[in-house]
Amino acid sequence: MHTQAVEDYLKAVYEIQREQGKVNTTALAERLDVAPASITGMIKKMAEMKLVTHEPYQGVALTKAGIKIALEVIRHHRLVELYLTEALGVPLDQVHAEAEKWEHVLSEELEDRIDHLLGHPTTDPHGAPIPSRDGTLARPSRVRLVELQEGQSAAVAEVSDHDPALLRYLGGLGLFPKVRVTVIAVAPFNGPMTIRVGETEKTIGHEAAQYIYVTKLKSSLTKSGGPSE
């Protein structure tokens, strides 16, 4: 029987792998806010449980069993976030912390009731895809905002919910799922981006822009600022 701590670790491995590719102990320690020594001990324990593999210099990877558990926890988390937002009106920057508490104790019956009540949703309030009941996760075609070039337009698809302060900052810029953005300028050497959100130009730092996923749009701006043909 896996514990809440194991579930937290597996979910963190899954999410870091999606965001950064390779999962190392330093990244896990930062995400979970625990000492690196504790990370090493838990990784060894999970490897013995056949939930992860860990090779020197290759990082941590989930096994099929580890992926199944991670996706179940993520499904609970994202369904609860949507329920708290739509049914209870909890602000977007607060639902993540609450869902962290619910995700480990949600019964399958309550999970199904929430899923039915919400109309079998496919994304959470931040735009992240919700894993299906059978443990599959859609892979929509998305790129990070930082990958866009000057003149390109896109629709915000997902905003990472891992940091409430970041969520509030991005919300202050008007960056929510389905909002259209156009890149006006990109400073060199990982400098800030100037983007148009609605009718307003905003500046966003490179690091924050990495946590915004977008869907590219065909329309774009020419150098003069007008729409291209």
The answer to the question of residue 16 being in a domain is: yes
State the pLDDT at residue 55: 85
**pLDDT tens digits, one per residue of 81-125:** 999 999 999 999 899 999 999 999 999 999 999 999 999 999 999
- Whether 212 shows a pLDDT value over 90: the answer reads yes
Distance (Å, whole) CA 80 – CA 88: 11
- How far is residue 150 CA from its own chain's centroid? 25
- CATH number, domain containing residue 211: 2.30.30.90
pLDDT value of residue 56:
77
Whether 187 maps to a domain, the answer reads yes
Domain that holds residue 162: 143-220
Last residue of a domain, one of 17, 40, 62: 62
pLDDT at res. 222 = 45
Query: What whole-number percentage of the chain has pLDDT above 70?
Result: 95
Between residues 63 and 57, which one has the greater pLDDT? 63
The reply to whether 156 falls in a domain is yes
Show which of 45, 62, 79 is a domain's final residue.
62
147 in any annotated domain: yes
* CATH number for the domain harbouring residue 45: 1.10.10.10
Whether residue 227 is contained in a domain is answered as no
**pLDDT value at position 135?**
87
In-domain check, residue 26: yes
| Number of compact structural domains in the chain | 2
Asked, for residue 202, whether it belongs to a domain, the answer is: yes
Confidence label for 229 from pLDDT (cuts 50, 70 and 90)? very low
The per-residue pLDDT for 225 is 46
